[in-house]
Amino acid sequence: MCGIVGFTGHRQAGPILLHGLEKLEYRGYDSAGLAVRNGSAPAEVVKSTGKLVKLEEKTDNGKALEGCCGIGHTRWATHGEPTQINAHPHVSGNCTGSASGTVESEVVGVHNGIIENYIELKEKLLRHGYSFYSSTDTEVVIKLIDYYYKKYQIGPIDAIAKTMVRVRGSYALEVMFSDYPNEIYVARKDSPMIIGIADGETYIASDVPAILNYTRSVYYIDNLEMARLLPGEAHFFNLNGDEVQKELTEVTFSAEAAEKGGYEHFMMKEIHEQPRVIADTLHSAVQNGIIDLGLDEEQLRQIRQIYIVACGSAYHVGVIGQYVTEDLTGVPVRVELASEFRYRKMKLEKDALVIIISQSGETADSLAALREAKKNGIRTFSIVNVVGSSIAREADSVFYTKAGPEIAVATTKAYSAQLIAMYLFAIRLGEVRDTIKDTKPLLEELEKLPDKVERLLEDKERLQWFASKLGNTKDVFYIGRGLDYAICLEGSLKLKEISYIHSEAYAAGELKHGTISLIEDGRLVIGCLTQPELYEKTLSNMVEVKSRGAYLMAVANYGYYSIEDTADFTVYIPRTDPHFAGSLAVIPMQLLAYYTAVGRGEDVDKPRNLAKSVTVE
């Protein structure tokens, strides 16, 4: 959530900052702002509400801002309404904070995250003569830095360190001091930040796509660390003010990977990338029939309990992972929402494994759950997509999916890559524990998935036609049993998050326990029927809702043609091992959600009120 960028170098900063913010629009925001310094001159601050185009118009695409050092921000409102006054950057001086112009202020800064004790800190600063123009927690942090800087007559690193000790919460902080031209100071706790270096210039961002056009050489700043950034230089410090050494990391994907590539929306591009993503993730872990996820064989044998912890679509991957893992290995699995797991007072099995699934590797609740597991002495294994992310670095073991940059807020290809990771984990665990005698047939089925997904994508026009009928739909219900219910959870989420149509997924066997009362004439019910042992039972449930006036869509395996006697519209998926059906059945559900949202004129890549990476509670 939110996006930060920064630049100090030899070129004009404004256009570079705006370009970076454009690449971070997918993170979600409701206002934006820039602060640029020209040598020792005071910073010039420009803010706007709404889309980034307003800020571009105000600054002539950044060209109107003189200077080679600056910071920028896209804000997702948490503390304070989405107004120009509350937009970042914030300053330590007592200005209105609303208008463009030069700002005589010691400290100017932007911040991602939430400061939990900002009211307490604000009261302290009020007692020391500070006044406040905004409703944000960020203004409090900037003025607290200013307070320590002036009171103790110390340098920026020490002032920021004292501030970090006092604040509670999460932050990626980016600050400029009037006494230090062409320098930017940053600090981080539980909120993502990367620093890129190239050709004597330095870039800061909350995610890689913002700087890919300029460099692929990056530093990952660790938790509770700070950095002093000059053109082409980065110096890192711990909370004690001691300098720490870091190695540059090379980002492996290209700038082109974060472009639309001729598609109207990133979401459609990413849907079509799933065959490649599935193959790449599979082949990164399987060589010559041997699965290597970086997990110790002896430790896998000792596991008595598995906890899968995640949020959103990653949680739905976990639900599928639960069905598959328990069926193939016999090891009990519990799937937990990270936001619940971190606060529950439950006894954790010592011989357990906690699996954390997160595309970004920065999801706040998932990261907190990981730390809770480690505090209890439980081994952790993370499945993430972003190299060097917090969850990847802090977990005992990590498996990187090969989805590449995913820009659309609604996940598609990262979800598919995570499914492959969970399948491989289950197969490997079954192999080690001798519940799977021969992994070859299962791996061969996985190898066939990319081609089968391609076949489904070739049939997308039928789904586009069906979606065109859903423009005025108010409610949609998804039903399935077993693994099909898990698939329905993701299908329902995709529809509601980008089309804003209310949808719910229900275990089909629960219909008689209340849900069936919601069925009325014309209500769309989507049934998922991919599990042979449960097909007839789910079909019976669909007959039930049809008799009460429901309009039916079915997602079923090729050969299940009897469904056509009941369903009004059917999508067939290629046959595969039932454990892997989720990788195929989700494709028509993604396409249905996409075409429905497009038909309703919605912003598919940036749905309202949502952000790509939820880095705060």
3-class state of residue 393 by DSSP: helix
Q: Give the strand order in the sheet containing 379-384.
A: 333-337, 305-310, 352-358, 379-384, 397-400
Q: How far apart are CA 117 and CA 194, in angstroms?
A: 26
In single-letter form, the type of residue at position 65 comes to L
Q: How far apart are CA 200 and CA 196, in angstroms?
A: 11
State residue 17 phi and psi, 5-degree precision: -65, -45
Cis peptide before 89 (omega within 30 of 0): yes
pLDDT value at position 614? 64
Is 459-603 in the same CATH topology as 3-256?
Answer: no
Q: Could you identify the residue written with the tokens 């409701």?
A: 30
pLDDT value at position 609? 74
pTM for the predicted model, two decimal places? 0.78
pLDDT value at position 97? 45
Residue 79 pLDDT class (50, 70, 90 cuts)? low
What would the pLDDT profile of 23-61 be if each residue is shown by its tens digit? 888 767 888 999 999 999 999 999 999 889 999 999 999
Token pair, residue 145, equals 């830095």
Task: Say yes or no to pLDDT of 99 above 60.
Answer: no
Task: Say yes or no to pLDDT of 218 above 60.
Answer: yes
Mean pLDDT of the chain: 91
The more confidently predicted of residues 263 and 455 is 455
What would the pLDDT profile of 222-258 be if each residue is shown by its tens digit? 889 999 999 999 999 999 999 999 999 888 766 666 6
pLDDT value at position 51? 86
Q: Which fold has domain 260-457?
A: Rossmann fold (3.40.50)
Q: How far apart are CA 202 and CA 6, in angstroms?
A: 8
What would the pLDDT profile of 296-353 be if each residue is shown by its tens digit? 999 999 999 999 999 999 999 999 999 999 999 999 999 999 999 888 877 888 899 9
Q: How far apart are CA 602 and CA 596, in angstroms?
A: 9
Q: Which fold has domain 3-256?
A: Glutamine Phosphoribosylpyrophosphate, subunit 1, domain 1 (3.60.20)
Buried b (16+ CB within 10 A) or exposed e, 113-152: bbbeebeebbeebeeeebeebbebbbbbbbbbbbbbbeee
Residue 407 pLDDT class (50, 70, 90 cuts)? confident
Query: Where are the chain's structural domains?
Result: 3-256, 260-457, 459-603
- Give yes or no for a contact between 6 and 205, defined as CB atoms under 8 angstroms apart: yes
pLDDT value at position 102? 67
| Average pLDDT estimate for 557-564 | 87
As annotated, the active-site residues are: 2, 612
Task: Say yes or no to pLDDT of 98 above 80.
Answer: no
Task: Say yes or no to pLDDT of 96 above 60.
Answer: no
3-class state of residue 399 by DSSP: strand
Give residue 564's Cα distance to chain centre: 38
The more confidently predicted of residues 77 and 215 is 215
| Average pLDDT estimate for 444-459 | 96
pLDDT value at position 551? 93
CATH number belonging to domain 459-603: 3.40.50.10490
State residue 194 phi and psi, 5-degree precision: -130, 160
3-class state of residue 552 by DSSP: strand
Q: Which residue blocks in 186-311 are alpha helix, DSSP H?
A: 266-272, 274-285, 297-302
Out of 152-156, 280-284, 451-455, 610-614, which region has the weakest mean confidence (pLDDT)?
610-614
Contacts of 79 (CB under 8 A, 6+ apart): 114, 115, 118, 135, 136, 137, 138
State residue 601 phi and psi, 5-degree precision: 75, 25
3-class state of residue 62 by DSSP: coil
